[in-house]
Amino acid sequence: MSTQLHIKTFDELTTRELYEILRLRAAVFVVEQDCVYQDLDGLDYDAVHIFLTEEGRVRACARVYLRDADSNLWGIGRVVTDERRRGLGSQVFGVAQRVVQEKAPTATVRIESQCQAQGFYEKFGFRPVSEPFMMDQLPHIKMEKRFTNDGDRE
């Protein structure tokens, strides 16, 4: 199966792509994790959406967005895949980091990771910056990574 990478703003998404992204997020975050929460939070409008498709179906996705322009703080969120252990989540998350670096080479990226995924993000150089807390009925932890001009983490 051929996997295709897509990087689009909200306005560039087709209705089918948007539907597939939202379908995947609901399937994993709401149904699989049995967590009722408001996924449509308004951040998608200004985000860059990174997603992988196979045969027209979104298999993994993430979004990148500016949290605070004054402090050059960015966010990566809604990282999800429909099949574990294929490297699809790592692929979209790696691309999401490159998108941030292209837009803001000295950015700090903050994520709210589910605690069970902390190790995944640590492999990319993210470090905890908070104690665990509850968000959307699941334990989360804030993590950050700072980029320098040459792309290395400080």
Please tell me the distance from the alpha carbon of residue 24 to that of residue 41, in angstroms, as a whole number: 16
Tokens of residue 114, six digits? 């589910």
Contact predicate 18/57, CB 8 Å: no
Closest CA to 89 of 72, 67, 108, 114: 114
**Which DSSP state fits 153?**
B
**Which DSSP state fits 47?**
P
The whole-chain average pLDDT of the chain stands at: 92
Stretch 28-57: mean pLDDT, rounded? 88
Residue 153 maps to a domain = no
pLDDT for residue 53 is more than 80: yes
Residues 30-40: tens digit of each pLDDT: 788 877 777 88
Domain of residue 91, CATH code: 3.40.630.30
Residue 152 maps to a domain = no
Residue 151 maps to a domain = no
Measure the CA angle with vertex 142, ends 79 and 9; round to 5°.
35
The predicted pLDDT at position 104 comes to: 94
Please tell me the distance from the alpha carbon of residue 44 to that of residue 66, in angstroms, as a whole number: 11
Residue 154 maps to a domain = no
Please tell me the distance from the alpha carbon of residue 106 to that of residue 151, in angstroms, as a whole number: 8
Residue 137 maps to a domain = yes
Q: How many CB atoms lie within 10 A of CB 75?
A: 19
The predicted pLDDT at position 152 comes to: 52
- Indicate the length of the chain as a whole number: 154
Residues 92-104: tens digit of each pLDDT: 999 999 999 999 9
Domain range spanning residue 66?
A: 3-146
Measure the CA angle with vertex 21, ends 19 and 25; round to 5°.
115
- Give how many domains the chain has, as a whole number: 1
